Structure 1
Amino acid sequence: MGGIGKTTMVRAVYERISCQFEFSFLLTDVRDSVEKSGLLNLQKQLLSGIWTKKADISDLHEGATIIRRLLGHKKVLLILDDVTHLSHLKYLAGNQEWFGSGSRVLITTRNEHLLIEHGVERRLKVEGFDDEDSLHLFSWKAFKRGYPEEDFLDLSKSVINYAKGLPLALEVLGSFLHGRDLSEWNSALRKLGRVCNIEIFDILKTSYDGLDDEEKKIFLDISCFFCGEDKDRVTEVLISCDVSAIIGIKVLSERSLLTVLHGRLRMHNLIQEMGWEIVRRESPDEPGRRSRLWLPQDVKHVVTKNTGTEQ
């Protein structure tokens, strides 16, 4: 899940233990780096930290061979942050034989199945903050201290309840509310759950963008209609609509876009709001042109105004 604090965590780990290794590498935002400059360039960046001469490699296989040759007997710390494709792991951290005894490779990803495919045995799901830690982080952003001002305590707790432990939301909302008076806080909080915060939306939507078309359809259907419903019942409904619901729900779970709790489908409220916003953007001003309608007022508008489409 985006914004949960994976990058912050591995940065802290790197700062704390990197001195214990012969070579230490922290490659942040692998996805973005590969999209902008290519995986070969990322190999060159890695090699530049261990090779005295310029890393003049022509293809990924050559780069992988050189990385393995140079680091195969070294105690290495390698951190790969925000990995989105198996090729990132294949050509940057092939297997245990690439690195010497005592080496450690840490990988962050929004897609758990990548780790399974690559044979990573020790996997940790990063959980959100509890209420106490959430209030502490939010307060540092909103008040520049570890606890809210007395007049703002109840409003702060409302933000904590809305953010549901997501550090990204706590930081964004805390920074936005910093220095504002009570009336501005009340006005801003009335928007929560009704108007999507763009900064939070853009980061969370990265996980949605990585889905295929059918997985996107399943995600939007669940976020709009089936959140909290029985998993087996929802699966049957989706299968009747000619979609591969079983594997689709599994993929969404692997990417932390939903969870299954006591047999029911659950979503973080901000993930669900992200789904709503995606549908709303299909036609901001005319609900009848959207692919899905779930709000009673929108359904009423479309029926009474006869603004629906044939789709």
Structure 2
Amino acid sequence: MDRLQTRELAFFVAVAEELHFGRAAERLGLAQPPLSRAISRLERRMGVLLLERTSRRVTLTPAGEVFLTESRRALDAVDAAVRRAQRAGRPAARLVVVMKPGGDCGLMPDILAAYDVDPDAVPVDIVLCSAHERAGMIRDGRADVGLLHRSNTDLTGLDFAELLIEDQVVVLPHNHRLASRVSVSLADLTGETMPHWSADTTNGLSVQDVGQLMQFVALGRAVAVVPASVRGQLRADLVCVPVTDAEPTTLILAWPQGHRTSALAAFVRTATTAAAHRQTKQPYRG
């Protein structure tokens, strides 16, 4: 079978998402009959039925569900390739690093200082964004590398290196019933409101950065279980108490799978070395 064109994938994704040929055709700026013929040709070429069609509805077959997932990934990969090539073609190369505000465990100053003197270094742009955006920005080519937490991140399509493993603490208002405890367990926090890292404000208490999280805790609206390094950003009216049975968190450095320029390799090398020095409590001088 000849290689499929990205246009064919885009046609199929539109129909699969709309589950309606008329709406998909309108979305693509096409007439419906050519779109229907294009999908039929695609199915014949692949030798598999992707869509079940009746006079009332369109549904995905099991093969269609798989092909939808893979088609989205393929189209995203093409978009990412274009973005990376455009950025690489600029007169002055730059490395775009994405991270959550306050999500570097205090490592970024050491990393940047050491990277700046590496012979393979290029200027670095730091992009701060919410937790749920970072992996997507790396995959789609808007960022070259990012700091993520392994436990709550989809790492599909990414290579990564572990930097730091941290115990967790609960952030509490100073007058909270547990604030004077030496340590607590997760069971002690039963019934407490816990914020989640998201821009979606329709699903409970949402935060996008450490500042927002601490404000909600200070107001008595929530408590938060977070990596122990947050102590360095703690407000005076809050306290941290170790959570003895909370699973440790792992800070990782992630980049697109199979993508490793000399500038990126230097940044990964610098970051892992800085993290190793932090784990041994030694100052890192590059």
Higher fraction of strand: 2
TM-score over 0.5 for the alignment? no
Normalised by the length of structure 2, the TM-score is: 0.29
Normalised by the length of structure 1, the TM-score is: 0.28
